[in-house]
């Protein structure tokens, strides 16, 4: 997003229902366009990734968050600042792996899924998969390769919605070969 549009929309808010239903319309359309849920999940992840790549710039410009020193700090910023800023919710951060390279975001409510019920014939659809793509894309732009997936989802009958994030590696900013 360009600098100009940042200025004019400075942290503006909007009705979440329009957002929710627009997302719903997208998922519905994808389900019509693709033969199976797997393809839809993939497409949602891809679109999320594209969003994440652009979102991170918007985020860094608006929040005065500096560089995160470790993955724990990253987790905090995602949950307390980013989710709050964009979706108006604050997930809790839990289930740290002993090595500190894996954690879970627990979403009490997910603005993407208000009014949504999954029909039985879409039981492998990961409805909010766009979020995973967005998280992955945004973190990749700050040199972190992270694996993001839904571990539990209230839409599929689980008690909570859980996004599991696993740190894979730091992306080195390497120069293209022979370009030194």
Q: Which one of the spans 2-10, 93-101, 148-156, 157-165 is the region binding other proteins (CB under 8 A)? A: 2-10
Determine contact, residues 125/40, Cβ cutoff 8 Å. yes
DSSP type of residue 82: I
Q: Is 54 in the site for other proteins (CB under 8 A)?
A: yes
Q: How far apart are CA 120 and CA 110, in angstroms?
A: 20
- Residues numbered 55 to 114 that lie near other proteins (CB under 8 A) are 55, 58, 85-88, 111, 114
Q: Which one of the spans 7-15, 90-98, 145-153, 167-175 is the region binding other proteins (CB under 8 A)? A: 7-15
Q: Is 34 in the site for other proteins (CB under 8 A)?
A: no
Q: How far apart are CA 97 and CA 12, in angstroms?
A: 37
Tell me which residue of 145, 163, 146 sits closest to 154, measured CA to CA.
Answer: 163
Q: Of 31, 42, 51, 152, which one interacts with other proteins (CB under 8 A)? A: 51
Determine contact, residues 90/106, Cβ cutoff 8 Å. no
Determine contact, residues 47/133, Cβ cutoff 8 Å. yes
Residues that bind other proteins (CB under 8 A): 1, 5, 8-9, 11-19, 21-26, 28-29, 33, 43, 47, 50-51, 54-55, 58, 85-88, 111, 114-115, 130
């Amino acid at each position: 997003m360009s600098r100009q549009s940042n200025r004019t929309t400075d942290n503006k808010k909007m009705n979440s229902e329009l957002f929710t239903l627009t997302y719903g319309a997208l998922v519905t359309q994808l389900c019509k366009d693709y033969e199976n849920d797997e393809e839809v999940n993939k497409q949602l992840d891809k679109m999320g990734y594209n969003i994440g790549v652009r979102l991170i710039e918007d985020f860094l410009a608006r929040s005065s968050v500096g560089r995160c020193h470790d993955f724990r700090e990253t987790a905090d910023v995602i949950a307390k600042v980013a989710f709050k800023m964009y979706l108006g919710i604050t997930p809790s951060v839990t289930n740290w792996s002993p090595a500190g390279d894996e954690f879970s975001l627990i979403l009490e409510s997910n603005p993407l899924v208000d009014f949504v019920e999954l029909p039985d014939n879409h039981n492998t659809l990961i409805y909010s998969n766009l979020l995973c793509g967005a998280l992955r894309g945004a973190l990749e732009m700050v040199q972190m390769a992270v694996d993001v997936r839904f571990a539990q989802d209230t839409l599929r009958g689980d008690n909570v919605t859980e996004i599991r994030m696993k740190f894979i590696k730091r992306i080195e900013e390497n120069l293209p070969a022979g370009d030194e």
